[in-house]
Amino acid sequence: MMSDLHLDEVVDLDEMGGANKYDRCIAEMRLKRFVDKTIELSDSYIDGVSIDGLCLLWGGDMCSGDVHEELALTNEGVSGLDTCVYWSPILAACVTKLADFFGKVHISSVVGNHGRQTRKPRMKGRVRDNLDFLLATMTANLLEKDARITWDIPDTADCLVSVYNTRILLTHGDQIRGGGNGVGGLMAPVLRMVDKKRLHQPFDVMAFGHFHQQILDPGNGVFACGSSKGVDEFSRLMNFRDCPPLQAYAVVTPTNGFTFTAPIFVQDKEKEGW
């Protein structure tokens, strides 16, 4: 799973007190490291199963967006449109490399809250008014002649993904409200949302991002991805718990469903030059 890349956002090393740095160059390095580590996990760490292909979940907030004034002023791209133009061929190259190894790749994509084009989140036209939808569609168009690669970019906020007999509900996570403190922490509101979502759509595991915190607990129906960006000025000022830049990996089998899960660490300070 790949989520919350916040492409074109700039995280200033000095403002972070040396805790993190992020820009176009570093984002591209971390994206390529995600691809390489996904292949490495599948090739060197998984044994005893035959891998039929890759199901790649795009969990939203792929673009930084310019809905917040401070992001519009500091993003590396001129606009959200510029972000999509710059990153779509890079993402296409990454998906092609994954297809070269796995043989088949299916990408399911939902939108996040950062890519919206209105100040307040909208309900009607939520998907097609979002930069994440544009980025996924542009990337899919670049790869339309590659029969190994298939796409599901729905007009709905959620996307149901079937992997063998396991039903995964992909959503961004910004619908989750409440909690975050006390004994339950993030899990309490997440589990409430899992129950609410199941009222409308039966599924086994809910996969989401948004919180930049990783929770790999498919036994309880939860598969939360992290963020390639890592900590930023907002998370530090809000005193959120730091989480390293990472994405999520899982092996799903016909018999047992989610069988193996692991974080994909994408940061390399030495190579990133800070």
pLDDT digits (tens, 9 = 90+) for 96-124: 999 999 999 999 999 999 999 999 999 99
Is 178 inside a domain boundary?
no
Q: What is the pLDDT of residue 195?
A: 97
Dmax over Cα atoms in the chain, in whole Å?
51
Average pLDDT of the residues of the chain: 96
> What six digits make up the tokens of 4?
């919350």
Q: How far apart are the first and last CA of the chain?
A: 27
Q: In which band, very low, low, confident or very high, does the pLDDT at 33 lie, cut at 50, 70 and 90?
A: very high
Percentage of residues of the chain with pLDDT beyond 70? 98
Range of the domain at 104: 24-155+226-272
Q: Can you tell me the mean pLDDT for 37-64?
A: 98
Q: Report if residue 189 sits inside a domain.
A: no
pLDDT of residue 185: 78
Query: Which pLDDT tens digit goes with each residue over 187-246?
Result: 999 999 999 999 999 999 999 999 999 999 999 999 999 999 999 999 999 999 999 999
**How far apart are the C-alpha atoms of 94 and 139, rounded to whole Å?**
10
What is the band of 51 on the pLDDT scale with cuts at 50, 70, 90?
Answer: very high
- pLDDT, position 178: 72
Q: Closest Cα partner for 151 from 163, 164, 139?
A: 139
Q: Is residue 106 part of a domain?
A: yes
DSSP assignment letter at 212: S
pLDDT the model gives residue 181:
55
Average pLDDT for residues 24-29, to the nearest whole number? 99
What are the two backbone dihedrals, phi and then psi, of residue 38, each rounded to the nearest 5 degrees?
Answer: -65, -45
Q: Which residues pair with 222 in a beta bridge?
A: 206, 217
pLDDT (mean) for 76-95? 98
Return the percentage of the chain with pLDDT > 90, whole number: 96
Residue 182 has pLDDT above 90, yes or no: no
Report residue 262: phi and psi, to 5°: -160, 150
Number of structural domains found in the chain: 1
pTM score, whole prediction: 0.96
Residue 78 lies in a domain: yes
pLDDT at residue 63, as a whole number: 98
Question: Which residue in the block uniquely carries the two structure tokens 């915190």?
Answer: 213
Residue 161 lies in a domain: no
Q: What is the mean pLDDT of residues 52-77?
A: 97
| Residue keyed to tokens 């792929």 | 62
The answer to whether residue 167 is domain-embedded is no
Residue pair 246/263 in contact (Cβ under 8 Å)? The answer is: yes
Residue 37 lies in a domain: yes
- Judged against a pLDDT cut of 90, whether residue 32 lies above it is answered with yes
pLDDT band at residue 179 under the 50/70/90 scheme: low
d(CA 190, CA 180): 9
Asked, for residue 49, whether it belongs to a domain, the answer is yes
Q: Does the structure show a pLDDT above 60 at 180?
A: no
Q: Which of the 8 DSSP states describes residue 220?
A: G
